[in-house]
Amino acid sequence: MLKVLFMNTKKNYEFNRNSFPKVAVLLAAYNGMKWIKEQINSILYQKNVNIDIYISVDSSDDGTYEWCLNLAKNNNNINVLSYGIRYGGAGKNFFRLIKDVDFTNYDYISFADQDDIWMLDKLSHGIKQMKINKAKAYSANVIAFWEDGNEKIIDKSQPQRKLDYLFEGGGPGCTYIFSIESANLVKHYLTIFSELNDFYFHDWLFYAILRHNKFNWFIDSVPKMKYRQHMDNHVGANILIKSKLFRIRYVLSGKVFKYINLLIVFLKIKNIEVTSTKGIFMLAMKARHLRRRRVDQFFSFFALILYGIIHI
């Protein structure tokens, strides 16, 4: 069944090549054979868009790279980047994709994980919403789902705050769609500032770069993809107690402030610093501007105060 789908896709791609927006889908993979076939199928059959898929495979041992190479041989719109480097996380893999893929012939850039399932109008719906809202970047809510059949909508579409990009991204990075102008600005930052390539949370970094540079970012309340939850998720849906406790420990460990400080330095954010008690406490006073959800604003305030007392 999968083989037939892939062969038909090549024909459909050629037929629609000049009819719809051109989208480069950047897919980061690592030991993905259990899920990647279903994900790529859902991407190849996107409606009313003309897509090319670029796949970067982190050094794997389950045949993911070889499978992707074979798939690319039979599909002109699938491209597999050179192989052999161990990135050690999705972030660096996506950074590699952004820096290495030529965006010249595309209208939009989209990001994809290896294990999700896209609804057939994920891209066309997102692009339509970008046009309606005059947005340069897009993200959306998702439907988290588990192997036992449970599903839950993950809501990230609360009203944006002035400085929310200092503490969170625009939602799951696999929902992101960028205009070429937006994608090229992110590429510029990653190319010029090598230190940013060590930023662990790529979706947070991209959101911060574009929001700080006044690019209009639209967060859609309508979910158009199923966001798979399993033991290999790096961060996950953040709705389980275990996940929330991990985040609390992570903030209090001080690691998150390393990334906040990187944003402050390289985005040249004025009148904010996190290297002194005074700076931490002053930032705590801005807590209502730091997160979109009210409960997260309260959490940010108390976490900043506690961190300032313990560590600085």
CATH of the domain at 193: 3.90.550.10
Question: What is the pLDDT averaged over residues 207-219?
Answer: 98
**Does 13 share its domain with 150?**
yes
What confidence tier does 15 reach under pLDDT thresholds 50, 70, 90? very low
**Does 267 share its domain with 179?**
no
**Does 58 share its domain with 191?**
yes
**Does 57 share its domain with 107?**
yes
Calculate what percentage of the chain has a pLDDT beyond 70.
Answer: 86
**Does 280 share its domain with 222?**
no
**Does 88 share its domain with 156?**
yes
Count the residues in the chain.
312
Residue 235 located in a structural domain = no
Full residue range of the structural domain in which residue 289 is found: 241-311
Residue 200 DSSP SS3: coil
**Does 222 share its domain with 178?**
yes
What confidence tier does 306 reach under pLDDT thresholds 50, 70, 90? confident
Calculate what percentage of the chain has a pLDDT beyond 90.
Answer: 76
Residue 148 located in a structural domain = yes
Burial letters 50-60, b for 16+ CB under 10 A, else e: bbbbbbbbbeb
- For residue 8, what pLDDT is reported? 45
Q: How far is CA 250 from CA 31, 170, 260, in A?
A: 26, 19, 13
Is a pLDDT exceeding 50 seen at residue 244? yes
In eight-state DSSP terms, residue 238 is S
φ, ψ of residue 145 to 5 degrees: the values are: -140, 150
* Angle subtended at Cα 234 by Cα 203 and Cα 239, rounded to the nearest 5 degrees: 85
Say how many domains are in the chain: 2
Residue 138 DSSP SS3: strand
Closest by Cα among 172, 171, 193, 190 to 182: 190
